Amino acid sequence: MSTPEWLARALAVDYTQFLPIRVEERRFGWARPDFATVLARFPEVFLCEPRRVSLATELTTPRARTVAVARVLEVLRAEGLVAGWRNELYEVYAEASGEPLFRIERAAVKRFGIRSRAAHLNGIVETERGLAMWIARRSLDKPTDPGKLDNLVAGGVAAEHDVWQTLVKECDEEAGIPFFLAQGAQLRDTLAFDYIAPEGLDSNEVDAFDLVLPHSFEPRNQDGEVAAFELLPFAEVRERLQAGELFTIDAALVAWTCLQRWEGGRK
Using DSSP bridges, classify how beta strands 100-105 and 52-55 pair: parallel, antiparallel or unpaired: unpaired
Query: What mean pLDDT do residues 232-249 have?
Result: 95
Give 69's contacts (C-beta < 8 A, 6+ positions apart).
45, 55, 102, 104
- The residue type at 203: S
pLDDT category at 2 given cuts 50, 70, 90 is confident
Say whether both 148 and 250 belong to one domain.
yes
Predicted confidence at residue 1, as pLDDT, reads 66
What does the pLDDT look like over 190-208, one tens digit per residue? Answer: 999 999 999 999 999 999 9
CATH code at position 166:
3.90.79.10
133-169 b/e (C-beta count within 10 Å ≥ 16 → b) = bbbbbbbeebebbeebbbbbbbbbbbeeeebbebbbb
Say whether both 176 and 238 belong to one domain.
yes
pLDDT category at 244 given cuts 50, 70, 90 is confident
pLDDT category at 263 given cuts 50, 70, 90 is confident
Report the number of distinct structural domains present in the chain: 2
Query: What is the rounded distance in angstroms from the CA atom of residue 31 to the CA atom of residue 137?
Result: 31
CATH code at position 33:
3.30.750.160
Say whether both 67 and 187 belong to one domain.
no
Structural domain span for residue 154: 5-9+116-263
What does the pLDDT look like over 106-120, one tens digit per residue? Answer: 999 999 999 999 999
